[in-house]
Structure 1
Amino acid sequence: MPSRTPSVPVAPDAAPPTQADLLDFVRRTAADRDLVASLPLDPEGRTWVRLDGPGGSEAWLIGWPPGTGTGWHDHADSVGAFLTASGQLTENSLATRLPTDGWKTLELSEDVDRERALGPGTGRAFGVHHVHEVLNPSPTEHAVSVHAYYPPLPRIRRYSRTGQVLRLEAVERPEDWQ
């Protein structure tokens, strides 16, 4: 079983981790070659191990088989960061702020799409309501990444997309992941 990254104790009155803190954590964690190599990789589906993130954040080490991805989603009210530890990932995101609640279908403007290639050691931080999908584009190689979120994920909203139409499909909560 992979080891967990040790967390730093946080005083009750300490400030919550920022996006920069989370990005620093995922960088340091991805540099731990032994931890990254300890993740069991499955040829069929993603694998993951929960880590101890900074300041009470939720963190994960995730293995991505060739050709897998997350689908379009956001992390609701959490800020986050992720970084590719090995392999290659692609992030497709929307450069627009969506309404937080009360909609099922949105027509997106033509200029909102962003694509980032994230090779080893490359990552990013993001704010609340960041809509994206993460993919391993390789037909043959696994990828491994480190992710951190604060506050711990209260919900994930899943979307489908056809052309410029984004549709809210489901809202998942932690109890749905048990």
Structure 2
Amino acid sequence: MSQSVSVPVQGTEAAAPTAAQLLDFVRRAAADARLIASLPLDPEGRTWVRLDGPGGSEAWLIGWPPGTGTGWHDHAESFGAFATARGVLRENSLAVRLPSGGWRALELNEGVDRERLLRAGQGRAFGRHHVHEVLNESRAEHAVSVHAYYPPLPLIRRFSRTGPVLRLEQVERPEDWQ
């Protein structure tokens, strides 16, 4: 179940936001108990509500049932931030910048994998072409998080990974998820 409802959050700015401002926004939104409680949760699939992000950014409140995740993906030319509001999320990421196009499979070098746990109240910012997957590994508890991207997402590239090989599987555009 998904909703595409605009939920105003106080403190939005008119100018293009920085990564630090996006991180501040997602942390403040994640601490808003009323906003977090407003998200409908589905036991089977992720749910989301569109938020009014700062400076024209794209922002989302996302519910993660136990055992769900995003799969490997990036946000193309957008930078962003996310914060956990409830539960614990694991982020697996790659400390390498991928080429923006012209490839279908890449073999990754050793030492590029990064892992971090984000508990309620914790967040992180990331730059353009950041490749990661986000997971709720809990077997019993929903997680909830807030995400913001600037510029608004032009596309998402989805990848599969087998050992050191990363394969481009799909390119999604905003009309595919809105």
Shorter-normalised TM-score: what interval?
Answer: over 0.9
* Corresponding position: 1:82 with 2:82: yes
- Does structure 1 conserve the Cα–Cα contact (< 8 Å) formed by 2:61 and 2:145? yes
Counterpart for residue 143 of structure 2: 143
The 5 Å alignment of 1:90-129 reads: 90-129=90-129
Structure 1 segments, 4+ long, off by >2 Å, are 5-9
**Aligned residue for 1:6?**
9
- Letter in structure 2 aligned against 1:4: V
* In 1: Cα distance, 2:166 partner to 2:53 partner: 32
Q: Residue in 2 aligned with 1:170?
A: 170
Q: Is the 8 A contact 2:46 2:65 kept in 1?
A: yes
Residue correspondences, number: 174
Give the Cα–Cα distance (whole angstroms) in 2 for the partners of residues 24 and 9 of structure 1: 12
Shift of 1:38: 1.2
Mark the runs of 5 or more structure 2 residues left unpaired by the alignment. Answer: none
Separation in 1, partners of 2:61, 2:101:
30
Distance (whole Å) between structure 2 residues aligned to residue 3 and residue 86 of structure 1? 21
Q: TM-score, normalised by structure 1?
A: 0.94
Task: Provide the C-alpha distance between the structure 1 equivalents of 2:97 and 2:8, rounded to a whole number of angstroms.
Answer: 33
Say if 1:40 and 1:47, in contact at 8 Å, map to a contact too.
yes
Contact 1:73 1:159 in 2 (8 A): yes
Deviations, residues 98-117 of structure 1 (Å, cap 9, x unaligned): 11111000000111100000
Q: Structure 1: 5+ residue runs without aligned partners?
A: none
SS at match of 2:145: strand
Question: Separation in 2 of the partners of 1:124 and 1:5?
Answer: 22
RMSD (CA atoms): 1.4
Q: How far off is 1:167 after superposition?
A: 0.1
TM-score (normalizing by structure 2): 0.94
